Amino acid sequence: MVTLVAPKDFSPVEDAETIKKACLGWGTDEKALISVLGNRNSFQRKLISLAYQEIYHEDLIHQLKSELSGDFERAICHWTLEPADRDAVLVNAALKKAKPDYRVIVETACVASPENLLAVKRAYRFRYKHSLEEDVAFHTKGDIRKVLVALVSAYRYDGHEIDEDVAISEAGLLHDDIYGKAFSHEELIRVLTTRSKAQLNATFNRYQDIHGKSITKGLLGDPVDEYLSALRTAIRCIRDPKKYFVKVLRTAINKEDTDEDALSRVIITRAEKDLKEIKELYLKRNNISLNQAVAGETHGDYKEFLLTLLGKEKNQALN
Amino acid sequence: MVTLVAPKDFSPVEDAETIKKACLGWGTDEKALISVLGNRNSFQRKLISLAYQEIYHEDLIHQLKSELSGDFERAICHWTLEPADRDAVLVNAALKKAKPDYRVIVETACVASPENLLAVKRAYRFRYKHSLEEDVAFHTKGDIRKVLVALVSAYRYDGHEIDEDVAISEAGLLHDDIYGKAFSHEELIRVLTTRSKAQLNATFNRYQDIHGKSITKGLLGDPVDEYLSALRTAIRCIRDPKKYFVKVLRTAINKEDTDEDALSRVIITRAEKDLKEIKELYLKRNNISLNQAVAGETHGDYKEFLLTLLGKEKNQALN
């Protein structure tokens, strides 16, 4: 479920005019921007962008970028983009970092449905004139390349049919692959990157039943081993995306320097999907609501914007 | 250009009735089937299939299968399928052979445009309830798996932009990869399976300019080395599909036992695309027209059907 409650009656032209007004003059009226864009769903934001372009012959994102700065700018610009295009931008940014953030790539590849991942790949090609696989392969090497390229290339079957025999036999294969001598993970990578998610979850369950431990247990290593970490992330994203996102949020918030990129990414990309359940799970696991946790670690317009997307709580002090 | 000249005026209902009539009674009127189906384009065949289903509550392919047999049956059934679905069927059949025909998989992955390959993958998922990547990965092992899975997974950028610097630097990388000590082909596989075809052709050309030989030269090995052979096939399909198909046809025809699967596949899959140019190139290379060569190695209804798709030549004896 979503946290966003978009108004049923809305005028793209009026919204575009409000945004233009907020950008004119000496200062920018950030509150007005948050109040408009933070309360419109993806389709409405698209209409606002189109209206803005039509009326002012100017790209809305371009206008926002020139008016704003820092985490708030990045967050509201990402939010304003169409979802598939936004994911393309996020993945590209993760890839181009001095130290690429492989987690974002794995997350995008494994959480999205096969059709949504395809939409991201189309948007990526359109925007960057390269395929996503091409850029991932170019910016990586060795084992991590094998996993990442295969994950972003996957166009999985998305039916719900499960083959129990395959689940049992592949649970065995995976165990051999993880604990055997070869340590090449060839079968693990094959299974993880080609089987449907329904089938994978059946296989993970059989693995747990037969071997009495979760499959990620065998993939623990030095925490900086980015290859094992990518495998674990992929498995977690396929098993239980909400639980995975709760963990990303907690890590981002609890870091000495809050990881605003991760915080914004999860809130923005999930706000129109399952942010409500993520909030519930966050509270259950951390004994503090996500709104409170976010409010405690962020400031100013950025804080106000994230709280708008989170949906303000009744008893939340608007401090 | 195509060899098929489909009638502008045609009635799907009349055609469906002609087909039904040809199937009724003691024998089957194969000539009538060839005359109808062999002279209709893909869209018209689709309408005929729909009309057939509507009138007789029976699947046209199913009806044809039950009436016909052997190479003729396979050929006319494949021809009647929609192109993407047909490719899915051909790839699946190639994969399920006792000795999988990897060439068909490479050919399908490398000749089709990115959007057409995607259509094949969709058709495959719909028909087999598995993804194409999944089945290819499951039925293969080791090096050949690496190449095939990456090729069928590719969703390449299909613009015409070329980066000359990348072409030069990757031509060097490929040479090191092929002639260096590692012999892992990691870079070759990355480049071959992720770069756009336009970029790859630029890279292959730079390779030839710099090293004075074609890139496939370094990939010669024992002719039964299916891994090297798959790499060479991929390069040929990307460089010059028509030249590649002429070679497949010549090999199929010149075999002691004609390879009807390959013969039918090329004629059927290219008839509505570039079969005219393939015929011209065949004649130029082999000093015999493709029609004559096919007529010399095939018989009966199968022969008649292939010649219909090839477009009969003016001076061709109808023996």
pTM equals 0.89
The token duo for A196 is 């449907």
Q: Between A129, A149, A194, which is nearest B159 by CB?
A: A129
pLDDT along chain B (319 residues), means of 10: 80 96 89 95 96 97 95 97 98 94 97 97 97 96 94 95 96 91 82 97 96 91 84 97 98 95 98 96 96 96 97 59
Q: Residue B125: list chain A partners with CB under 8 A.
A: 155, 157-159
Q: pLDDT tens for residues A93-105?
A: 999 999 899 999 9
B67 is in an annotated binding site: yes
Residue B139 forms contact with A (CB below 8 Å): no
Number of H helices, E strands in chain B: 19, 0
Residue A92 forms contact with B (CB below 8 Å): no
Q: Residue B116: list chain A partners with CB under 8 A.
A: none
Position B318 scores a pLDDT of 45
The token duo for A61 is 């994102």
Burial class of residue A8 in the structure, from the number of CB atoms within 10 Å of its CB (0-12 exposed, 13-18 middle, 19+ buried) = exposed
> Does CATH number 1.10.220.10 belong to domain B241-310?
yes
Position B280 scores a pLDDT of 96
Domain boundaries, chain A: 12-68, 84-239, 241-310
Mutating which of B122, B124, B128, B190 best tests the A interface, going by the most A Cβ atoms within 10 A? B190
Q: Residue A196: list chain B partners with CB under 8 A.
A: 130-131, 134
Count of C-beta atoms within a 10 Å radius of residue A82: 15
Give the residue-averaged pLDDT of A131-136: 96
pLDDT-above-70 percentage for chain A: 97
B125 and A161 in contact by Cβ < 8 A? no
Using pLDDT thresholds of 50, 70 and 90, give the confidence band for residue A317.
very low
A273 is in an annotated binding site: no
Q: pLDDT tens for residues A196-236?
A: 999 999 999 999 999 999 999 988 877 678 999 999 999 99
> Does CATH number 3.40.50.300 belong to domain A84-239?
no
Q: Residue B161: list chain A partners with CB under 8 A.
A: 129
Architecture of domain B160-221: Orthogonal Bundle (1.10)
CA B232, B235, B241, B247: dihedral to nearest 10 degrees? -20
Using pLDDT thresholds of 50, 70 and 90, give the confidence band for residue A319.
very low
Residue A116 forms contact with B (CB below 8 Å): no
Which of A156-160, A239-243, A292-296, B315-319 shows the lowest per-residue confidence on average (mean pLDDT)?
B315-319
Q: A248, A287, A274, A303: which is closest to A90 by C-alpha?
A: A248
Residue B130 forms contact with A (CB below 8 Å): yes
At the top level of CATH, the class of A12-68 is mainly alpha
A27 is in an annotated binding site: yes
A161 and B129 in contact by Cβ < 8 A? yes
Q: A316, A252, A240, A250: which is closest to A283 by C-alpha?
A: A250
Position A182 scores a pLDDT of 64
Position A315 scores a pLDDT of 53
Residue A145 forms contact with B (CB below 8 Å): yes
Count of C-beta atoms within a 10 Å radius of residue A98: 4
The amino acid sitting at A99 is K
A318 pLDDT more than 50 = no
B298 is in an annotated binding site: yes
Instruction: Check if A84-239 and A241-310 are the same fold.
Output: yes
Count of C-beta atoms within a 10 Å radius of residue A117: 24
Q: pLDDT tens for residues B81-140?
A: 999 999 999 999 999 999 899 999 999 999 999 999 999 999 999 999 999 999 999 999
Using pLDDT thresholds of 50, 70 and 90, give the confidence band for residue A38.
very high
Q: Residue A193: list chain B partners with CB under 8 A.
A: 133, 137
The token duo for B210 is 């710099």
Give the residue-averaged pLDDT of A150-172: 95
Distance CA B166, CA A285 (A): 49
A156 and B129 in contact by Cβ < 8 A? no
